[in-house]
Amino acid sequence: MKKIVNPFVKHHPKDYRCFGCSPANEIGLQLEFFEDGDCIVATWEPQKRFEGYFNVLHGGVQATLLDEVAAWVVNVKCKTAGVTSSINVKYRQPIYLDGGALTIKGWVDSVNRRLATIKAQILNGEGTLMAEAEAVYFIFNEQEAKEKFYYPGIEAFYEE
């Protein structure tokens, strides 16, 4: 697996606070991403502050994990920026906060003009499918992505 550089740290060191992936957002998820073939992958340890029902990871946080990995699939695999147009989450099993680290992974299912359909999954430490999503991203052309969404270009995700 290859580590993906987070280019937004370098490009926007002061004002970049994405809830999903900014290392500077102290109340965020602080996800880091890796590339594994066609997939973008993150590992993440659930924490008590993300609780819903007692000892269960809040479903909204699960949806955010799935959406965030989908956004990075768009960035790295579709090589552009996009916004979530819709996301459909299926919660398969409760994710317990004391159940250990999770793997979140996503990949491109299809691209149709301006719509990219991304599939994403949350797996537990044993590889059991805990939640899955289909996210439809409205994707932008390169110029729009750079001008409106700070997309730095695909090379920036590989530059140390």
Ligand X SMILES: CCCCCCCCCCCC(=O)SCCNC(=O)CCNC(=O)[C@H](O)C(C)(C)COP(=O)(O)OP(=O)(O)OC[C@H]1O[C@@H](n2cnc3c(N)ncnc32)[C@H](O)[C@@H]1OP(=O)(O)O
Binding site for ligand X (CB under 6 A): 8, 16, 18, 20-21, 67-68, 71, 83-86, 115, 136, 138, 150
- What's the min distance (Å) between Cβ of 97 and ligand X? 23
- What's the min distance (Å) between Cβ of 41 and ligand X? 16
139/113 Cα distance (integer angstroms): 8
- What's the min distance (Å) between Cβ of 60 and ligand X? 12
Q: Who contacts 126 (Cβ-Cβ below 8 Å, separation ≥6)?
A: none
111 vs 115 by CB, closer to ligand X: 115
- What's the min distance (Å) between Cβ of 129 and ligand X? 22
35 vs 67 by CB, closer to ligand X: 67
88 vs 128 by CB, closer to ligand X: 88
For residue 10, give the H/E element and its range: helix 7-11
Q: Who contacts 147 (Cβ-Cβ below 8 Å, separation ≥6)?
A: none
The DSSP 8-state label assigned to residue 4 in this structure reads P
16 vs 107 by CB, closer to ligand X: 16
Is the Cβ–Cβ distance between 71 and 85 less than 8 Å? no
22 vs 121 by CB, closer to ligand X: 22
Output the six-digit token pair for 106: 């996503």
- In the sheet with 102-112, reading across from the earlier edge strand, the strands are 2-3, 34-36, 39-44, 102-112, 115-123, 129-139, 82-91
- What's the min distance (Å) between Cβ of 125 and ligand X? 25
